[in-house]
Each structure stands twice: as C-alpha cells, then as structure tokens.
Amino acid sequence: MTTTAAALLALSVGILIGAGIAVVIFLSFRARDRAQAQVSRRIPEGIREVLHGMEDPAAILDASSTVLASSAAAAPYGIVEGVALTDDDLRRVSRKARDADGVAAETFRLMRGAPPAEPRLVTVRATRVSARLTLIVLRDITERERVEQMRRDFVANTSHELKTPVGAVTLLAEAIESAADDPEQVRIFAARLTAEAQRLGSLTSRIMNLSRLQASDELTEMRDVAVDEVLTSAIEASMIQASASAVEIVRGGDRDLFVRGDAQVLSEALSNLITNAIAYSPAASKVGVGVKRVDDVVEIAVTDRGIGIPEADQQRIFERFYRTDQARSRRTGGTGLGLSIVKHAVQRHGGEVRLWSRPGRGSTFTIRLPLIEPPLEQSTGKRKKKKEKMKAQKNGDHR
C-alpha cells in the first residue's frame, strides 16, 4: 500500500470515528433533554395561554399537586396558581392519572366557594402530561343531574298519580256493569265515575300546562297586560268554588297597573292560588286578593286565614305533586301541581313567588312581577277621563 493510500485510509477512519462520537454525543444530549423535560416543572409553551382562555375549570399540577397554571373558572373551587390542592378527591384523581401514565376520570361533589356554599357535582378528568405534570379539567354537571332527576321524578310521580284515577274508573265501570239491574246503585257509581273522570281530566290538563311552561323557550301570547284584567278573570273562575265553600273573596289595593306577559297563563297562576286559599279556609271566612306597587314591581298577594303551612313543608311546597296533607288533597281533588305551575308561570315572566305562613293563622302567597308603563292608548284614555271629570266639576261649580 502506498503512503498516499494509507493516509487516506487513516483520514477516513478518523472521520468515521469522529462522526460516531458526534452522533453519540448528540444522542446523549437528546436523551438528557428528554429526561430533563420529563422531570421538569416547566409548562410547555402555549399551555398557560390556553388555560387562561378556557371557560371550564382547568389546571396544570406538579407532582406535589401544586397548581402551576389554571383557568379563571377554577378559582371558586380553590384551584389557584401557586397553591397546593387541599381537596383529597382532586389530589387522588391527579395521582391516579400520573401513576397510570394515562387518563383518570371520576365524579364527585366539590365545594364551590366558601361555606355555606352548596357542593357541586363535578366530573374530573386528569391527564398525565409528563412525569411531573398533570392536567385536570372539571365539568360542573349539577344542573344536568338535577334536571335528569326531576325528569325521573316527574315520570314516576305522574305514573303514580294517573294510576289512581284510572284504576278507580276501571273498577267503577265494572261495578256499574255488575249493578245493571239496580238503578239506584248505577246512579251512585255513575256519579263517582264522573268525579274520577273529572279528576283525571284535571290532572292531565295540569301536567300538560306544567310541561308547556317548562319546555317552551318563549311564551307565545306576550303583550301588555292589565293586572286588573288578570285579577278579574282569576276571581270569576273561582267564584263557584268560593260560593260552595261559603268563602268570600275580597279584592283591594292599587289599580291600573300593567305587566308584560301572557294574560291567560298569569290568570291561571293566580286562579291556582285563589283556589288553594279557598280549599284551605274555613267556612264563613274571607280570602283577600290585593295589589300593590313597590318601586318597579307589582305585588299580587293572596291571603287566607286557614290552617297554614308547617315550616318544615314551606321549602317543598312548590315541588310537583307535593302535598302537606294527603288526605285533605284527596277530599278536595287536589293534584299537587297547582303551586308548581304558579312558580314556573311567574318565573317565565321574570318574577318570583314568596310565601308567608303560620300554622293556625293562615298563609299569604305573593306574586312579584316587573312593572311596565301603561300602554299609550290607556294613558290617553285616562287623561281624557280626567279632563272630562274636571270639566264636569267646573260646570257644576258654575251652576
């Protein structure tokens, strides 16, 4: 081998060795960077900005469950940057995701805000980002669960309530057939059959009304409504029951007030309150229906001097099918839906229902609705009547 060839071979070998060393060094540095990234508490670029823009509660935690970055929505749950988590459930879920080298999800109740704040039902999903970093995202499902529970209760209660009159109708129909040769018994059974059919019809109608109030996005017959019109309609609808129960309905308070809403829905809601007041009032007593303007609110109060409502029942009185006195409701034909319809009807009009009650002293239900200015034609008519009255008085003075 010549000297030149030997030199070239040596140079080639040197280059290969140098390249190999360089590759080894490069791989070593790369492995080191990966290892450092795995154990580093540094948040990957852009993650913090994403968290700050999220509407859901979310946070990045290190191995000690200290919050390194979080969304604004996480703060009410006690998830604050630079502070270690104090909730054991959150710590457990994040640790489970870190140990499993993947994803962990659980559902539990978590306090939102300081006591006496109500615990919220949340689903927590934790994802391992690196050996030391974990991402947790919270989703509040309290309202979804509440609506689902309400749906289940509504179906169960409705089925139970419908079963009673349907069963009674079936039995009475069989009894009429069996007593076909006894006209007197047929008349008795027929009267009871009619009563059960009316009860079934009332229950079905109220269920439909309540479903309509809950399901509709908007009330379809919205207009400027005179409160006097609503009161007159509701009182007239209750007069037969009041007369049969020897109860007098007394109306008082302010006049010529207006609200924005559906006149029929408001009238039905007020009629439910008056009907309840009559049903729970003793004979020869009075039920008062009063109207009062309080700043920009119209208050319509229905007051009775009946048996009152125990304090333990007052929080549940607006629930569907809830009755404080089951036996009395059966005698009066109550469905347990009237007050629930009142609550939803008033809420759909941007108002609220308040209750004051004392056992043995009676109850007052107050509907509060936003007040609006009288329609233009109403204001013009009132001004015209006022001028005519003043003119008549002036002419009388001259005479």
Domain boundaries in the chain? 48-140, 143-215, 219-385
Question: How much is the average pLDDT of 309-332?
Answer: 66
- Other C-beta atoms closer than 10 Å to the C-beta of 28 total 10
Average pLDDT of the chain?
78
Host H or E run for residue 28: helix 3-39
- Is 3.30.1280.10 the CATH number for 48-140? no
Query: Which residue's structure tokens are 């319509």?
Result: 300
Which residues make beta-bridge pairs with 60? Answer: 69, 135
For the ranges 65-69, 160-164, 320-324, the one whose mean pLDDT is highest: 65-69
| Strands of 103-111's sheet in order across | 67-70, 58-61, 134-140, 119-128, 103-111
pLDDT of residue 93: 92
Residue 231 has pLDDT above 50, yes or no: yes
Strands, E, within 40-133: which ranges? Answer: 58-61, 67-70, 103-111, 119-128
Which tokens sit at 105?
């999800």
- In terms of C-beta density within 10 A (0-12 exposed, 13-18 middle, 19 or more buried), how is residue 244 classed? exposed
| Calpha distance 259→298 (Å, rounded) | 8
Residue 313 has pLDDT above 50, yes or no: yes
pLDDT of residue 314: 78
User: Topology of 143-215 in CATH?
Assistant: Helix Hairpins (1.10.287)
| Calpha distance 300→303 (Å, rounded) | 10
Host H or E run for residue 327: helix 326-332
Query: Which residue's structure tokens are 């791989």?
Result: 27
Q: Which CATH class is domain 219-385?
A: alpha beta
Helices (H) and strands (E) in the chain, counts: 11, 12
* Model confidence pLDDT, tens digit, residues 198-225: 777 766 766 666 666 665 555 667 889 9
Question: How much is the average pLDDT of 338-349?
Answer: 84
Q: Which of 269-278, 288-297, 334-343, 369-378 has the lowest mean pLDDT?
A: 334-343
What is the C-alpha R_g of the chain? Answer: 37
Residue 384 has pLDDT above 60, yes or no: no
> How would residue 395 be classed by pLDDT, with cut points 50, 70 and 90?
low
